[in-house]
Structure 1
């Protein structure tokens, strides 16, 4: 092979136009809506917040038809086809349940739930209602990752032996960011660690043996975690520092490098084992403007009557949460509503 494969990602503008309702008016909701409005034909007909005035202001600013002061009002709206859950992590389960029980398809911002049990509950409810549900882990919907997907399927890496992935970002302890709040399931694991862990479990499969350790943050949350999965993947995430945030997938016939930030739009570089000229796929580094790819994929799946997306099946989302559960067990991290002594996920051996 003299070039890397081109991404097969369909034109987002060709995705069917659906009516979206958005639960939450925070940072990620703004970026998701903006990206989808710029690059797709998706329509945003409603947004909800616990604060009606905030919802109305947000709706006016983003050209959304209505702002609601309750989530219940939004999911009951007749002109909402699909609900994007963009609330704080601790509300994902309740909001997904609310939307599904109202008969709405859902795209749940990552993580799908706080733990594997919550993820499984959402998965089972969606299936029982015959509704589409997916985790909005935007990385897997990017053209960059379709190139990775094709390289893995082609066998050009040979036998994949290891994955190395890191994602770290500095957060000012005095900044008041929600990632520093224990009551909102703060710490790096759900916001940042999701990315390297989901990459490792996607490439190598669910981990059977997890070894992890972490460090506390002065804000009262976990601040840093390092983990080894089955002796084949090494992952790291931190709130203390800006790290390279790169990823490597290494095999017997070659190595695939994803320059940082690996979870966003960017390049893919293949280096053959033993030397030789590298092959590079280049993609503009557009950051979170790539969020629209997940909206387009959800719209296509709903049109086709699918209950999930093959690009990020809910089984993969739950498998990643099981690994997170075990990492938290070893690091002594308990999220709101959990029991400290409740077993979560697989037990390391």
Structure 2
């Protein structure tokens, strides 16, 4: 098989993890790096052995031999940068949150379909072996009918807070919701589908974005979900599904799980299903994109564009509940 040439648009912290994990993907290599700073692009490219580095995002379109672009810029820029690549005919893996709002995401999908170019949200959690295992167990009915799901994700942002930083700037679509609140919402949608009702409250920061966000969701099935995100404190980062026959927990940090634990009602001991992992976990989504493109697909069967659009609509619904709007909306 020939080498698969990845390009990175926006060589920041997450992009570094992605580049490191390409070492665990057969035939993958970092081929090009694009940054607004040529010096930064060149340093990143040199570190990971990429032969091409450019000092603007537009210049990336002229680099020959790119098979796919990983867009890893701030949330506020995903829409523009994904469209740039899609209109240039380059397949795109766009970091979560997919866009700033559902309207932007819809345009991204429309352009990808018009251009006949692959597009997928880089929601790495979806591709962990433990998530596939958990889905299989839940769908098999081992814990019965799921009645409730709880999930939280929190970390303590460095203090004093940086008003112009990506976590707190409204212009960069900051706040806990789009950065990490998207994970509990993602996992709830994956296991329970779209909700029939959404309620949310938040604690705002001095810049107006959410410091913490608590969400309650109800589903037509009769299930409910309690979700929470915060950038003010470190939480357990756990997810548990409660069913009529028992409960299932994603082990470790639920957004990057290491296995599954099932505790059935009346059972003396829980059953654990460890899932071996290599690398940091970003290689799973990269390998999946390569497989999709090798098969000539224009979207992922595991993370279809309709799912990402639904998730963006859910994020918009939560923001309406807490009264959070970003500049230009």
On whether the aligned pair clears a TM of 0.5, the verdict is: yes
Q: Give the one of 20, 25, 28 matched to 1:34.
A: 20
In structure 2, what is the equivalent of residue 327 of structure 1?
318
1:106 aligns with 2:98: no
Which residue does 2:49 correspond to in 1? 63
Deviation of 1:241 (Å): 0.6
Q: TM-score, normalization: structure 2?
A: 0.93
Whether the 8 Å contact between 2:75 and 2:97 is mirrored in structure 1 is yes
> 1:179 aligns to what SS in structure 2?
coil
On the 8 A contact 2:22/2:30 being kept in 1, the answer is no
Partner of 2:256: 264
Task: Give the drift of 1:39.
Answer: 4.1
Instruction: Please state how far the C-alpha of 1:285 moved relative to its aligned partner.
Output: 7.2
**Partner secondary structure for residue 289 of structure 1:** coil
Q: 1:200 corresponds to which residue? A: 188
Q: Distance in 2 between matches of 1:174 and 1:41?
A: 43
- Give the TM-score taking structure 1 as reference length: 0.88
Q: Which residue number corresponds to residue 156 of structure 1?
A: 142
Q: How far apart in 1 are the matches of 2:197 and 2:161? A: 36
* Structure 1 outlier segments of 4+, above 6 Å: none
Provide the secondary structure at the position in 2 that maps to 1:74. helix
2:217 is aligned, of 229, 235, 239, to 229
The answer to whether 1:83 aligns with 2:75 is no
Q: Is 1:281 aligned with 2:273?
A: yes
Segment drifting more, 82-91 vs 306-315: 306-315
| Alignment check: 8 A CA contact 2:204 2:211 kept | yes
- Describe how 1:5-154 pairs up with structure 2 within 5 A: 17-154=3-140
Q: 1:3 aligns to what?
A: none
Q: Which residue of the other structure, out of 216, 224, 239, is the alignment partner of 2:204?
A: 216
Secondary structure of the residue that 2:167 maps to in structure 1?
A: helix
Which segments of 5 or more consecutive residues in structure 1 lack a partner in the other structure? 1-14, 339-349
Aligned with residue 181 of structure 1, among 169, 172, 197: 169
Against the structure 1 CA distance between its residues 90 and 200, is the aligned structure 2 distance closer, same or farther, given a 3 Å change threshold? same
Give aligned pairs, total: 323
Secondary structure of the 2:301 match is: coil
Cα RMSD of the aligned pairs, angstroms, is 1.7
Q: Deviations over 1:174-224 (max 9, x none)?
A: 253421222211111111111100110111111121010000124542100
Aligned-pair distance for 1:37? 2.1
Distance 1:147 1:118 in 2: 32
2:231 aligned with 1:239, yes or no?
yes
Task: Mark the runs of 5 or more structure 2 residues left unpaired by the alignment.
Answer: none
> What corresponds to 1:315 in structure 2?
306
Tell me the secondary structure at the aligned position of residue 170 of structure 1: coil
